[in-house]
Amino acid sequence: MASSRGEFSSRFGFVMAAAGSAVGLGNIWGFPTQAASNGGAAFLLVYLFLTFTLAYPALMAELIIGRHAHANAVSALRLISPNTLLKRIGVSTGVFGFIVASLILSFYAIVASWMIAFCLSSLASLAGMESLSRWLTSFSLPRNMLFMLLFSGLTITIITAGVKQGIERWSARLMPALLVLLVLLVLYVLTLDGAMEGLKVYLLPDFERALSPKLIIAALGSAFFSLSLGVGTMLIYGSYISDKENLPVLGGLVTVVDISIAVLAGVLVLPAMYVALHNGVQIFTEAGALISEDTLIFTVLPELFATMGLVGKVVSFTFFFLMSIAALTSSISMLEVPVAYTIEEHGFSRKTAARAIGGAIAIVSTLILLNFDNLFGFVIAFTTRYSQPLLGFMFCVYAGWVWSRHSILEELRKGYPEVEQGLFWKIWPWYVKFLCPLIILAILAQSLIG
Ligand code: PFF
């Protein structure tokens, strides 16, 4: 089985694919607005601290288990379990993980499809097709269905092409493009009137707000979502890494890229909001907080672009194209989780698995669209608020308590022979055994109570 599996052809390929999974809608619009309303640079420091001390160790747990098993989460957790009971729990965890990954994709595809529609709307407007442009931003059911199916089709096509030809190839193309577009947009927005005020709001630290316990827990939840943890995505990408690679370094690179893009996105979104304010667009809610979430992306920013004339259309196209890329490199990593499982556990071909599962997920997305008010928020809360932390907890327990320390060391030594002398081995086993599970339980308890 292992010999017919795909493998990333290079370190760069893996880092682009895993960073592609991590960098998504969460980074580009979730992080900046959260930072802005919660203490600016102080939130950033808390976020950085939590990412390196807790999310990075959890990421490493998935990468090490995945690379050791060279298999999907279900087989991997079964492999590292010493007895039947733990094997069964491991299998259930893996199965729940792929169900959650599929459900995340079902709502993510909807949001991503809005990005593509807004991107094309700017093009239509540039071409003078105003009524088409308006339809593309209309949120009507036909538009939503059409673009959800288009986005799902793109995701399925890339996953059908496999690990090297699909995931690696497209991530290695799209991620550098994303970075270049992001930098260009930042440079442009910073030249506009009002931008510096936004930058100040983003960068001036307000420690009182950033150090509240509720916020720390919220920041940790975002860090887990942002690094795609818990659902077996990083585990399956880890399973495609060659044994020669140094895992702590690779995990570190992915974490640094993820954080850097989030921070950079803040330098785009916050100044852009204040440029909008300067141009007469409302950016505060009635309660006085900064507008965030969907209203920010689909109302405030388009209103800003509309005040900028022709340039605004180009900037709008670039911005929504950037969002579409970020979403696509994340969505492929979600679909790979159930697809890899179906190929490896049930012997399906990649093409059949990708089409059947991708198709089934598109049906779930359709159901969400047809019953939007009841299902959309529910699926998001069920997957990201409750299931991801719970699954992250299980992966840490398997890495910290179930799997033998000696085997973990052997696995790490393959690409990093002197690992025992390094800082990683002195700290990580304790983190993953005690601190990570405890803190994740705290997040879970908080989200259940709150
Ligand atoms: N990390 C992605 C983001 O920040 O948007 C979201 C995500 C991707 C979550 C892949 C879960 C996953 F399996």
Strand-pair partners of 284: 290
Confidence (pLDDT) at 438: 93
Say how far apart CA 410 and CA 216 lie, in whole Å: 35
CA 53 – CA 135 distance, rounded (Å): 46
pTM for the whole thing?
Answer: 0.94
Q: Which stretches of the chain drop beneath a pLDDT of 70?
A: 1-4, 217-218, 450
221 lines ligand 1 (CB under 6 A): no
The sign of the torsion formed by the CA atoms of 152, 297, 16, 234 equals negative
* Residue of minimum CA distance from atom 7 in ligand 1: 228
Count Cβ atoms below 10 Å from residue 358 Cβ, excluding itself: 23
Write down all domains in the chain, each with its CATH number in brackets: 7-449 (1.20.1740)
The radius of gyration of the chain's CA atoms, rounded to the nearest angstrom, is 21
Q: Under 8 Å CB-to-CB from 120, ≥6 apart: which residues? A: 136
Which stretch of DSSP H or E encloses residue 269? helix 247-278
Residues 245-279 pLDDT 10s:
999 999 999 999 999 999 999 999 989 989 999 99
Per-residue pLDDT, 135: 97
Distance separating alpha carbons of residues 120 and 133, to the nearest angstrom: 8
The residue whose CA has the least distance to atom 10 of ligand 1 is: 228
Give CA–CA dist 371/269, Å, rounded. Answer: 31
**Minimum-distance ligand 1 atom for the alpha carbon of 334:** 13
C-beta of 246 in contact with ligand 1 (< 6 A): no
**Sequence-separated (6 or more) residues with CB below 8 Å from residue 90:** 74, 77, 78, 80, 81, 398, 402
Is the CB of 235 within 6 Å of ligand 1?
no
For residues 265 and 24, what is the distance between their CA atoms, to the nearest angstrom? 11
Distances (CA, A) of 298 to 58, 163, 309: 33, 33, 18
Q: What is the model's pLDDT at position 2?
A: 41
For ligand 1, whether the C-beta of 26 sits within 6 Å is yes
* Phi, psi for residue 111 in degrees, rounded to 5: -65, -40
Q: Helices marked H in 51-194 — which ranges?
A: 56-69, 73-79, 84-126, 130-136, 141-160, 169-190
In this predicted structure, what is the pLDDT of residue 1?
Answer: 40
Q: What's at 109, amino acid-wise?
A: A
pLDDT given at position 450: 65
CB of 387 within 6 A of ligand 1: the answer is: no
State whether the beta carbon of 25 lies less than 6 angstroms from ligand 1: yes
User: For 336-393, how does the pLDDT look when each residue is reduced to its tens digit (9 = 90+)?
Assistant: 999 999 999 999 999 999 999 999 999 999 999 999 999 999 999 899 888 888 899 9
